[in-house]
Amino acid sequence: MMIKTAMERIGIVGAGMTGATVASLLRADYPGSNLVVLDKGRGVGGRMSTSRSMKANSFSVDLGAQYISISEPYKERHGRFHKELITAGVLTPLRSDIEGNKSRDPTITHHVAPQGVSSIVKHFLNQSGAELHTSEQIKQVDVKDDKVELTTESGERYQFDSVVLTMPVPQILQLQGTIADIINSKPEIKQKLEQVSYSARFAVGLFYNPNTKLSYSWGGKYIPEDPCIRFVAIENIKRGLNNPKLGPSVVVHTNVPFGLEHLEQEKNVMVPMILQHLRDVLPELPEPDEIKGHKWRFSQVHKAYEGGPGCVVLNEKPLIMLAGDAFSRSTMDGCIESALCTKDALQKVLSTKSNI
């Protein structure tokens, strides 16, 4: 039997993998709820971001996660999610070579997203039917009359019966309003939040016109010795696509030490330096028609929330929850794990309230 409560308007901050999966799960369990997803970016995906060219008619590039690796334990726990994505064609087996891949576990399977890794997030967001607001950066979270009020940088206000925050933990700690008092009143949670840390890196996408030919057989390549570049992917080869109407595209990811060293530099300042290193690594690579740079201040989680609980209930009345890969692992399945934990914790709170 469906639990009926007054908690019908639920806000989810962050349109990444965790936020999208939470929205999808809540829609299935609470079909009458008004679900609203807010994200500071212009598009969805979070760190599973895909970018398209504005000039060249070429394949898109994955600026965040490159391919999806699924371990045996997650195959058992999350098989229904994997099957759904594969059946829908959102995920397909990785068939191209990834040079330098250190994974030797034969039970781990690797997949790619033919339409870009953000299509995984879009799949779950579309499934949720949630109301989506992009370019909305939350700066303040307040508790007012048993509601949670979110205030954006632009001054917009949204009120909810419950809120799930899936943004990086340092951004949560910077929020103003009642939430700061709540965190300060719970020193154990605050200490664990302050101990969470992230790696940082830059990504650069290179786009080519359809007449360009790249003479590579591999889809991805790890670069272990370069002081700047960690990974290069030829997107169309990596995804196993061949469309003569689209030109090839390349994405470059820097290593973590380089990212941390230059973290406070603007991406446009760093792109020429990164491209010079790329020329040293792949001297035969032609000049692209378009270049896009991106800085990941919060890339993969370096140190997760102690105990990896999946999510944290920060406040019960009204409900404020913290979720995301910082509370599990920085993988697609880590985000699914966090989303499932969030759904279970929310159901527990709702069930308790319904029995009062």
Strand partners, 140: 151, 176
Cis? peptide before 244, omega within 30° of 0: no
The CATH code that applies to domain 51-64+200-299 is 3.90.660.10
Question: What is the helix (H) or strand (E) element at residue 234, kind and residue range?
Answer: strand 229-234
Residue in 96, 97, 105 with CA at minimum distance from that of residue 69: 105
For 132, the token pair is: 């989506």
Residue in 34, 32, 52 with CA at minimum distance from that of residue 42: 52
pLDDT at position 102 is 78
State residue 46 phi and psi, 5-degree precision: 60, -125
Residue in 182, 95, 201 with CA at minimum distance from that of residue 142: 182
CA 81 vs CA 24, 340, 346: distances in Å: 11, 11, 20
Q: Where are the domains of the chain?
A: 9-42+134-196+305-354, 51-64+200-299
pLDDT at position 56 is 82
Per-residue HEC secondary structure of 129-198 comes to: CCEEECCCCEEEEEEECCEEEEEECCCCEEEECEEEECCCHHHHHCCECHHHHHHHCCHHHHHHHHCCEE
Contact 253, 271 (CB under 8 A): no
Distance CA 65, CA 283 (A): 25
CA angle 263, 267, 273 (to 5 degrees): 90
Domains 9-42+134-196+305-354 and 51-64+200-299 share a fold: no
Task: Kindly tell me the burial class for residue 264, based on how many C-beta atoms sit within 10 Å of its own C-beta (0-12, 13-18, 19 or more).
Answer: exposed
Distance CA 90, CA 87 (A): 8
Contact 270, 228 (CB under 8 A): no
Contact 205, 291 (CB under 8 A): yes
Q: What is the pLDDT along the chain (356 residues), one digit of tens a residue?
A: 233 343 589 999 999 999 999 999 999 998 888 999 999 999 999 999 999 999 889 999 999 999 999 999 999 999 999 999 999 999 999 999 999 987 778 889 999 999 999 999 999 999 999 999 999 999 999 999 899 999 999 999 999 999 999 999 999 999 999 999 999 999 999 999 999 999 999 999 999 999 999 989 999 999 998 999 999 999 999 999 999 999 999 999 999 999 999 999 999 999 999 999 999 999 999 999 999 999 999 999 999 999 999 999 999 999 999 999 999 999 999 999 999 999 999 888 877 655 54
Other CB atoms within 10 Å distance of the CB of residue 107:
9
Contact 120, 85 (CB under 8 A): yes
pLDDT at position 6 is 39
Distance CA 119, CA 140 (A): 30
CATH classification of 9-42+134-196+305-354, choosing from 3.40.30.20, 3.40.30.10, 3.50.50.60, 2.70.98.40?
Answer: 3.50.50.60
Question: What is the helix (H) or strand (E) element at residue 222, kind and residue range?
Answer: strand 220-222
Residue in 195, 170, 198 with CA at minimum distance from that of residue 307: 195
